[in-house]
Structure 1
């Protein structure tokens, strides 16, 4: 029935699979669409249907085993990253106004933050490490000096 236009059927199948991929975003249907494109090429070259199906299956399996793992690794988040203010914990900052156990100001990620120290008073210009975030206040400690 579609012997002369089999490539159109394969191409239509590939487009449908890409549409399903857009809804699932798992990269599986995208690899199957790649297999259908392989079938499209085989059909356009005049291969019989059995050869088209084999080419489609082989291309899909190769894509599933090689390209999909790479895509999953590069386009999915392996672990949840901290967001917002909590993402600043562990970062270094510089003291703008003397930081003591009660108050102070630091420059953190390009922004001025209110801060308090976990211990001794820290003078302007010194580097600190953000230990935690308490509301809108960074709780900091003096950065360790290399070799000291």
Structure 2
């Protein structure tokens, strides 16, 4: 049995894995590598020798990474469609107190469902917050959300 005749399966698996990773990272690198794998897949289907398939896929990856990816990133950033991720996404998020604040510290549930240990931000007058009171996150320090009472 000639394993080279099944090279298309390897190209397909590499492309699918890259596309799945791209959905998590959202930075276009794995998208370009996945597209280069599709080029390798086409080379396999057209019966190119395995070494030529690799060369063509590598050249496609290099071109896509150097020429296409920067333009896609530039267009994405220029459009303002870049979604904040991680801690940045929490700043300004609303929530409510789920465990009464005592001595300026308590627990809040944010609008996205996350539960955070929290403290009153130093920019507001010190007071304890009651359960159900609305808050807004102003900063994250480690695993603690600094919050202020929401304007009514």
TM-score scaled by structure 2? Answer: 0.49
Q: Could you say which residue in structure 2 is the equivalent of 1:37?
A: 38
How far residue 74 of structure 1 moved from its aligned partner, in angstroms, is 1.4
SS, match of residue 55 in structure 1: helix
Please give the residue correspondences for 1:68-87 in structure 2 after superposition, counting only pairs within 5 Å: 68-76=69-77, 77=80
Q: What is the CA–CA distance in structure 2 between the aligned matches of 1:74 and 1:48, rounded to whole Å?
A: 37
Residue 18 of structure 1 pairs with residue 22 of structure 2: no
Q: What is the CA–CA distance in structure 2 between the aligned matches of 1:3 and 1:22, rounded to whole Å?
A: 30
Q: Could you say which residue in structure 2 is the equivalent of 1:88?
A: none
Q: What is the CA–CA distance in structure 1 between the aligned matches of 2:63 and 2:35, rounded to whole Å?
A: 10
Q: What is the CA–CA distance in structure 1 between the aligned matches of 2:3 and 2:34, rounded to whole Å?
A: 20
Q: Which structure: larger Rg?
A: 1
1:73-105 CA distance string (max 9 Å, x none): 111348x9xxx9xxxxxxxxxxxxxxxxxxxxx
Q: What is the CA–CA distance in structure 1 between the aligned matches of 2:61 and 2:23, rounded to whole Å?
A: 17
How far residue 22 of structure 1 moved from its aligned partner, in angstroms, is 0.7
Please give the residue correspondences for 1:26-105 in structure 2 after superposition, counting only pairs within 5 Å: 26-76=27-77, 77=80
SS, match of residue 47 in structure 1: coil
SS, match of residue 48 in structure 2: coil
Cα root mean square deviation, aligned: 2.2
How far residue 2 of structure 1 moved from its aligned partner, in angstroms, is 2.7
Structure 2 residue runs of 5 or longer lacking an equivalent are 85-91, 93-150
Q: What is the CA–CA distance in structure 2 between the aligned matches of 1:15 and 1:66, rounded to whole Å?
A: 22
Q: What is the CA–CA distance in structure 1 between the aligned matches of 2:46 and 2:53, rounded to whole Å?
A: 10
Which segments of structure 1 move beyond 4 Å, counting only runs of 4 or more?
Answer: none
Q: What is the CA–CA distance in structure 1 between the aligned matches of 2:28 and 2:57, rounded to whole Å?
A: 17
